[in-house]
């Protein structure tokens, strides 16, 4: 298993290519926060903040699989209070690890977990060993350990 994991990482690891600030604002990142029209930015943020993509997607996936909440959080040992916070608090933003556990509990494939992570503003980049290990186990459908 170690050799397969090592080979997977060697084949899929990508070094970071550029800085976001540098890509959007030139050679310096000091211009990041200089906006001419802050009223439009505030309106944009307020409009987008009213809808919680992660929460909506998570509970849609649970409903599609005809599962109870307890089936989901017990399968991967997530605390009931944490799950309740995710369900009832639109302002709560769970950790990346929690979202991955929820995805495993729902037996999502790699693309579905990526979509769930993206809905909460996370990703599984290929320049991070931790994330590559997650991708590796998803790619070999290593969800059997949950059953």
Q: Where are the domains of the chain?
A: 38-146
92 vs 95: CA distance, rounded Å: 10
Let me know if 57 is exposed, middle or buried by CB neighbors in 10 A (0-12, 13-18, 19+): middle
Q: What does DSSP assign to residue 31?
A: T
Let me know if 5 is exposed, middle or buried by CB neighbors in 10 A (0-12, 13-18, 19+): middle
Instruction: Give the range among 15-19, 53-57, 60-64, 108-112 with minimum mean pLDDT.
Output: 15-19
The mean pLDDT value of the chain amounts to: 81
131 vs 2: CA distance, rounded Å: 16
Residue 29 is predicted with a pLDDT of: 47
Grade residue 13 by pLDDT with cuts at 50, 70 and 90.
Answer: confident
| For range 15-24, the mean pLDDT | 60
146 within 8 A of 73, measured Cβ to Cβ? no
Give me 66's structure tokens.
Answer: 């005809």
Residue 50 is predicted with a pLDDT of: 52
pLDDT at 33 over 90: no
Grade residue 35 by pLDDT with cuts at 50, 70 and 90.
Answer: very low
Query: What is the share, in percent, of the chain residues with pLDDT greater than 90?
Result: 46
pLDDT at 22 over 80: no
């Amino acid at each position: 298993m170690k050799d397969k994991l090592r080979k997977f990482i060697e084949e899929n690891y990508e070094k970071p290519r550029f800085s976001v600030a540098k890509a959007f604002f030139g050679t310096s990142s000091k211009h990041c926060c200089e906006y001419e029209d802050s009223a439009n930015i505030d309106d944009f943020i307020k409009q987008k903040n009213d809808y919680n993509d992660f929460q909506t997607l998570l509970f849609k996936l649970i409903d599609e699989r005809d599962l109870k909440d307890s089936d989901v959080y017990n399968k991967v040992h997530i605390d009931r209070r944490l799950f309740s916070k995710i369900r009832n608090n639109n302002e709560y933003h769970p950790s990346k690890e929690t979202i991955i556990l929820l995805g495993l509990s729902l037996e999502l494939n790699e693309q579905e977990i990526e979509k769930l992570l993206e809905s909460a503003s996370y990703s599984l980049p290929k320049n991070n060993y931790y994330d590559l290990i997650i991708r590796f186990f998803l790619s070999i459908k290593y969800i059997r350990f949950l059953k």
